[in-house]
């Protein structure tokens, strides 16, 4: 009866390989292929691609501050001076700021990054093939990690087959049946190596797009005042490192950037070429870090804690998104419910659940940014 362990092992390998292959292909699927958008890519799409949801919010704030439509005080309080929005994200931000008293910058970020208007930008980039969808990517990684348990299971089944073969009657010579486990184990290991899910959420096409944006000449995005287009475009691609001019240090400090070496805008546009993934201070091959905010992967999905965000937190917006675990001690309100997530001081929206891609509260390994 040596064949029973082998049949079990073969079924285990076939099921594992099928599941990992299907989920891996799903994580790489492009639903709306259009090619690279080139330098005509919308400003906020470029910001999301380079730095995630928080970069989108910060880019809107920098654009509005440069154009005199918001004021950011030294106490990091944001006040709107022009309540007319230029795009949907500005509308969410202006609504979140509220009345004349303004709102704390960090709280404002927390209330906007999870909004459908911001999260939907990531959806559009994923559909175009510039980003990988986080939900599908998490599923592929989870299946691959479970697949790592198959080789030890094969060794156990092989040991059972050997024990059965030694304890039962057998011919004096011939091919030992448990030797069939060797090619099965080799096939499994090769599949795990070759079929490993992508490490980075940014696709190769997304990296090429960022390199194109960080060309030899500064990018001037549409929809920005001509006198501020270069600065705002550089900030969208490079973050606070683009605010190296001494006159911009107060704004840089408000955006959370520390002292940096002097760098021109042209250099800021070229600096990304030496980086591995094409991201600035927030996008990396190890997992598309979104500097303090998470892309949930759906405009209405819950946004939980993520180990792929390097300890950063994902706050929900005004639309009922739930909150993930936070490395910050401040408490930001993000919904109408008194329920809270494990590992976080943030309150969750009444219509959403917390956790790593699931329905239970608590910080999970899934979450919103893998």
**For residue range 137-170, what is the model confidence (pLDDT) as tens digits?**
889 999 999 999 999 999 998 888 888 777 766 6
pLDDT at 175: 63
Cα–Cα nearest to 93, from 77, 111, 75, 114: 111
Q: 80 has which bridge partners?
A: 70
Length of the chain: 370
pLDDT band of 231, cuts 50, 70, 90:
very high
The separation between the first and the last C-alpha atoms of the chain, rounded to the nearest angstrom, is 45
Half-sphere exposure of 1 (CA within 13 A, CB side): 5
Angle among Cα 88, 90, 91 to the nearest 5 degrees reads: 60
State whether residue 282 is helix, strand or coil. coil
Secondary structure string (H, E, C) spanning 53-69: HHHHHHHHHHHHHHCCC
Half-sphere exposure of 36 (CA within 13 A, CB side): 13
pLDDT at 169: 63
Distance CA 52, CA 200 (A): 13
pLDDT band of 262, cuts 50, 70, 90:
very low
Measured between alpha carbons, how far is residue 155 from residues 9, 146, 159, 325 in Å? Answer: 9, 16, 6, 39
Residue 309 has pLDDT above 50, yes or no: no
pLDDT at 281: 35
- pLDDT tens for residues 264-283? 343 333 444 444 334 333 33
Is 131 in contact with 122 (CB distance < 8 Å)? yes
Residue whose tokens read 């089944």: 157
Distance CA 118, CA 145 (A): 31
pLDDT at 4: 83
Residue whose tokens read 């950011």: 72
Distance CA 300, CA 286 (A): 26
Residue 310 has pLDDT above 50, yes or no: no
pLDDT at 34: 81
């Amino acid at each position: 009866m040596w064949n029973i362990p082998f049949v079990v092992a073969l079924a285990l390998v076939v099921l594992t390989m099928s599941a990992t292959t299907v989920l891996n292909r799903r994580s790489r699927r492009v639903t709306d292929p259009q090619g690279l958008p080139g330098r005509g890519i919308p400003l906020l799409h470029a910001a999301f691609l380079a730095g995630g949801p928080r970069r989108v919010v910060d880019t809107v704030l920098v654009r509005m501050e440069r154009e005199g439509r918001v004021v950011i005080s030294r106490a990091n309080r944001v006040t709107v001076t022009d309540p007319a929005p230029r795009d949907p994200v500005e509308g969410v931000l202006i609504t979140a700021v509220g009345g004349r008293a303004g709102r704390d910058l960090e709280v404002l970020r927390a209330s906007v990054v999870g909004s459908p208007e911001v999260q939907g930008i990531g959806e559009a980039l994923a559909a175009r093939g510039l980003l990988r969808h986080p939900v599908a990517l998490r599923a592929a990684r989870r299946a691959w990690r479970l697949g790592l348990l198959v080789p030890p299971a094969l060794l156990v089944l092989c040991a059972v087959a050997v024990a059965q073969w030694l304890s039962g009657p057998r011919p004096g010579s011939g091919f030992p049946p448990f030797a069939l486990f060797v090619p099965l184990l080799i096939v499994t290991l090769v599949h795990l190596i070759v079929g490993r899910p992508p490490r980075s959420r940014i696709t190769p096409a997304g990296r090429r797009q960022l390199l194109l944006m960080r060309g030899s000449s500064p990018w001037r995005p549409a929809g920005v005042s001509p006198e501020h287009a270069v600065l705002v475009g550089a900030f969208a691609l490079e973050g606070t490192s683009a605010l190296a001019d001494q006159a911009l240090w107060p704004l840089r400090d408000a955006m959370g950037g520390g002292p940096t070496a002097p760098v021109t805008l042209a250099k800021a546009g070229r600096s990304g070429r030496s980086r591995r993934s094409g991201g600035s201070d927030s996008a990396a091959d190890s997992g598309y870090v979104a500097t303090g905010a998470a892309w949930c992967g759906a405009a209405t999905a819950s946004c939980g804690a993520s180990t792929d965000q390097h300890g950063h937190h994902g706050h929900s917006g005004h639309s009922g998104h739930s909150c993930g675990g936070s490395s910050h001690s401040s408490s930001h309100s993000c919904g109408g419910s008194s329920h809270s997530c494990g590992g976080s001081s943030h309150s969750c929206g009444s219509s959403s659940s917390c956790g790593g891609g699931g329905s239970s509260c608590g910080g999970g390994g899934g979450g919103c940014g893998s």
